[in-house]
Structure 1
């Protein structure tokens, strides 16, 4: 019984430490995350042509996604291409890390792929989420149309049986 009591006390101490650390982090607010983001933003030379092309590519892909929202088949192709782009990000990071001198002023491509995840995979995932949400709305609309048609059909059947 003493072992159980000791284990419970140890567990309560660990939980109290975790709560104390969490509350300390919450008290510090979002300032450290904001400072990291600003440091990341200023470390990049945004005037490099390949970065402008990358950002332009994402803007064009986003506009294409928005303007093709009624074409579900095309959206599914875009969705799959975006996810394939995210899947290939690790290989792309390795390739670009080896060849950065031919197109960039500095090596942005670290081992962990933070830069490429932020500027390549992040926007692609955002676009994939937009497509997914649009698809869910389209499916809801189709289900409502189908149910209305079913109810009209049942009403017609009921009216013909009464005649």
Structure 2
């Protein structure tokens, strides 16, 4: 019986800790986010180039939305960019003095994940959603064609 009481008390203590975290709300996360964005010099040329690179990729996704084959290749390229993010972060971390005012490239890759992998993953998700919509439309076309074909076959059998 004593073990049961001990287990219940431990469980209640864990719930108290969890509810205390929830009561603090999202303010600590928002404070960390503000700190992250204020630590970046958004006027550095390489940061502006990176942002314009992601914007151009996004425009390319919207322009090529009807070309599924191109988008599938583009999907693989964007996911390859995410896969190579750790290596790119390491290379840029070793050479940051040649292009940046401060070392943004921490060993854990948080900065690079936010500014490189995050937008690439969003672009990949958009490509995936577009592909799913295209596949749904293709299934509808195929089913309509199948129904028309069945109607023609049944008409020919009746004649």
What's the TM-score bracket when you normalise by the shorter of the two chains?
A: over 0.9
Quickly say closer, same or farther: Cα 1:47–1:150, change in 2 above 3 A: same
Give unpaired runs (5+ residues) of structure 1. none
Q: How do 1:36-47 residues align onto structure 2 when only pairs under 5 Å count?
A: 36-47=32-43
* Aligned residue number for residue 81 of structure 2: 85
TM-score by length of 2: 0.95
Query: Please, which of 65, 69, 72 is the counterpart of residue 73 of structure 1?
Result: 69
Count of aligned pairs: 159
Q: Secondary structure at the match of 2:101?
A: coil
**1:136 positional shift:** 0.5
* Aligned residue number for residue 140 of structure 2: 144
Distance 1:12 1:147 in 2: 57
Is 1:114–2:104 an aligned residue pair? Answer: no
Distance 2:140 2:27 in 1: 46
Query: Please, which of 96, 101, 122 is the counterpart of residue 97 of structure 2?
Result: 101
Distance 1:143 1:10 in 2: 58
Distance 1:28 1:148 in 2: 55
Distance 1:17 1:59 in 2: 48
**1:135 positional shift:** 0.4
Distance 2:92 2:6 in 1: 49
